[in-house]
């Protein structure tokens, strides 16, 4: 199963806790960070930048679910106002790497092992962005 993919709601695995995010709330990087901080209840020290986001997503010790799927609806709105495409691709690469790191993580008492997947609702723009990643 790919870490990041396009899927309809019906195609989502049933054994994952699903965090559904309306991508129209994530049209800029700042909105993306704010939305993710709210949905995942990031600690107060979250810095609303890529490095801090990476740190949060590689911890998730406060999340009880062991299998987490982030599903973006309205995917054509995902970072649509972000002018720098390389920043979007960097974020998508980071999300992919984070999913991969969780796949091989051992887990311990401080940070229990998780499984993380990212899915986007079907849309031409996200299909093009994901195609540029590969």
Residues 6+ apart with CB under 8 A from 105: 111, 113, 114
Per the confidence metrics, is the pTM higher than 0.85? yes
Q: Write down the pLDDT at residue 111.
A: 75
Q: How far apart are CA 90 and CA 54, in angstroms?
A: 11
Q: What is the spatial distance between Cα 29 and Cα 49, in angstroms, rounded to a whole number?
A: 8
Domain positions in the chain: 4-133
Q: Which two tokens stand for residue 95?
A: 């999300």
Amino acid 34: pLDDT: 98
**CATH code linked to domain 4-133:** 3.30.370.10
Which strands form 17-22's sheet, in the order they lie side by side? Answer: 4-6, 115-120, 67-73, 17-22
Instruction: Give me the average pLDDT of each 10-residue run along the chain (134 residues).
Output: 93 95 98 98 96 95 94 98 95 97 79 91 96 85
The pLDDT score that the predictor gives to residue 103 is: 87
């Amino acid at each position: 199963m790919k870490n990041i993919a396009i899927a309809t709601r019906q195609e989502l695995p049933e054994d994952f806790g699903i965090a559904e995010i309306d991508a129209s709330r994530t049209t800029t990087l700042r909105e993306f960070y704010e939305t993710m901080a709210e949905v995942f209840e990031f600690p107060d020290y979250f810095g609303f930048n890529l490095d801090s986001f990476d740190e949060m997503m590689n911890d998730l010790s406060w999340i009880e679910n062991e299998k987490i799927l982030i599903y973006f609806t309205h995917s054509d709105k995902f970072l649509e106002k972000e002018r720098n495409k390389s920043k979007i691709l960097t974020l998508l690469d980071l999300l992919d790497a984070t999913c991969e790191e969780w796949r091989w993580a051992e887990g311990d008492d401080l940070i229990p092992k998780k499984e993380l997947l990212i899915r986007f609702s079907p849309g031409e723009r996200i299909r093009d962005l994901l195609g540029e990643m590969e």
